Amino acid sequence: MLSVQHVSGGYTGESVLKDISFEVGKGELLGVLGPNGSGKTTLLKMVSGILPIKQGEIFINGKRLQEYGIKQLAQMVAVLSQHSSQSFSYTVKETVSLGRYAHQKGWFQSWTQEDEEVVQRVMDQTGVSSFQNKNIQQLSGGEKQRVFLAQALAQEPEILLLDEPTNHLDLSYQKELLDLLKHWTAEKGLTVISIFHDLNLAGLYCDRLLLLEKGTININHIPNEVLREDRIRDVYNTKIQKHPHPKVAAPQMVLLPERYQSGKNVEIDESRLQISNEFLVLKSPYPLRTMSSGVVGSGTGWYQTFVNRHVSKDYNCDDHQVEMAAFLQANGFEPTETVGMMTAVWLEDAAYQQFNEEGFSIFVVVTAGVGNAIDASKSELHSFLPSPGTINTWIFVNGDLTEEAFIQSIMTATEAKVKAMHDLKVMDQVTGTIATGTSTDSILVAAAQSGKGLAFAGTITPLGRLISKAVYLCTTEAIQKSQKRKLL
């Protein structure tokens, strides 16, 4: 469809682009990325014939760009630029109709039935037909952008060039526009080349990405290859981290801001823990990166307050998440910043301890009730009847954990817990075997994400060792305390 061969050029004087070569196939959606001044817009202007090509060739459908007349080129290539000036109050329809200019022939360039049909169709597709008699100067930025998109589509191009098409659009229209473009490339074979500022949008929608750096191509590849942490960090010269999209197989990038470090050297320890009859709470001076299975704030996230709430043994509620959130709010905790768990255990029986190691430390809090202890290897013998009796384990790490360290921390903590149950000979009442936990155990791993980097937490790594020991000791102590209370 489009072939760019060793092209150099730019504005008068120095060449902005140097020796650029790439190809775009029919129906492809190519994203052009690059920092400011890397030549993205220049590239688009050269392909659309606005800027002269100093060296090299651009072929469209096998024909040299220069061999196309201006009207012919407008029938092949349409452009949606970043800024459009409107000095006069044309109506939406008048504006869109101008897109037919290249298709009109003869001295009087009469308006044909076909022209009218195309204009109506593209106005429907872009959702502007409802205000087609409105004056464009009265429209919002997003509406204007869609009007100009309709104008470009009225040209019935085979190639559509877009310069940051989502720039003035709010979230829903960004998605709508890109979904529409994606649809057209797949269904109608429209070829789209679009400049993106937003790496994540580009990663989500583009078939291929072209990363420009100082006027040359850094890489031209699939999004996953282009959006690599080290590459983006080098080209954009900024701190960035990649993580997967939760629903779509597309890479996403996040910026790492240069703030916070101050105040982060405060350790999470016993002094931050408050225990009352109603709840056990730990407040961190800064948000912690957490991975947890609480009632509120579960999954991964950033949370500052951690609540383990005492509920009576016959606590039963249809929607315990809503009830828990209401409880937190009533007690002055912000549910969106809080990880909340529940237990029927008396909170004064909680076991907690701090453990130090070279360069980092952990603080572990365990509440344990084993009335409902279960042997995981024989769990099919149990009917699904959630009853109280829970081991809630909190592990706070004053260190910087990787994702795998989080997962290994959970594994290690679980193994230590099982061993504690084993050594205390806690029995599964149904099967008569040694239990491995209870049916409603919860865990929280929260890390400061500053200080010493801790890549792993397997049982014999420095962090793993500390977690095994701490969880084993605390779980044992907590189970013993609650068993003692039962005997009393």
Q: Does 12 bind another protein (CB under 8 A)?
A: no
Tokens coding 41: 């817009």
Question: Binders of another protein among 104-123, rule CB under 8 A?
Answer: 104, 107, 109
Burial class (CB in 10 A: 0-12, 13-18, 19+), 456: middle
Q: Is 85 in the site for another protein (CB under 8 A)?
A: yes
Stretch that binds another protein, among 26-34, 76-84, 206-214, 393-401 (CB under 8 A): 76-84
Cβ nearer to another protein, comparing 91 with 293: 91
Contact between 63 and another protein (CB under 8 A)?
no
Q: What is the DSSP letter of 99?
A: G
Instruction: State which residue, 85 or 113, has the beta carbon closest to another protein.
Output: 85
E runs forming strands in 34-147: 53-60, 63-64, 77-80
73 contacts another protein (rule: CB under 8 A): yes
How many residues bind another protein, per CB under 8 A? 37
**Which CB, 148 or 279, lies closer to another protein?**
148
Residue range at the interface with another protein (CB under 8 A); choices 32-40, 95-103, 269-277, 331-339: 95-103
Chain residues 238-267 in contact with another protein, contact rule CB under 8 A: none
Shortest CB 97 distance to another protein, Å: 9
Main-chain dihedrals φ then ψ at residue 88, nearest 5 degrees: -125, 155
Verify binding: residue 167, another protein, rule CB under 8 A: no
Residue 388, helix vs strand vs coil: coil
CA nearest 22: which of 180, 208, 157, 234? Answer: 208
CA gap 119, 150 in Å, rounded: 8
Binding to another protein by residue 41, rule CB under 8 A? no
Pairing of strands 216-221, 208-213: antiparallel
The answer to whether 39 touches 22, Cβ cutoff 8 Å, is no
The CA angle 376-379-385, to the nearest 5 degrees, is 120
Figure out which of the listed residues 22, 59, 90, 456 binds another protein, where binding follows CB under 8 A. 90
Of 7, 16, 58, 74, the one binding another protein by CB under 8 A: 74
Cα–Cα distance, 250 to 243 (Å, whole number)? 9
Binding positions for another protein, rule: CB under 8 A? 45, 48-50, 70-71, 73-75, 77-79, 81, 84-91, 94-95, 98-99, 101-102, 104, 107, 109, 135, 137-139, 151-152, 155
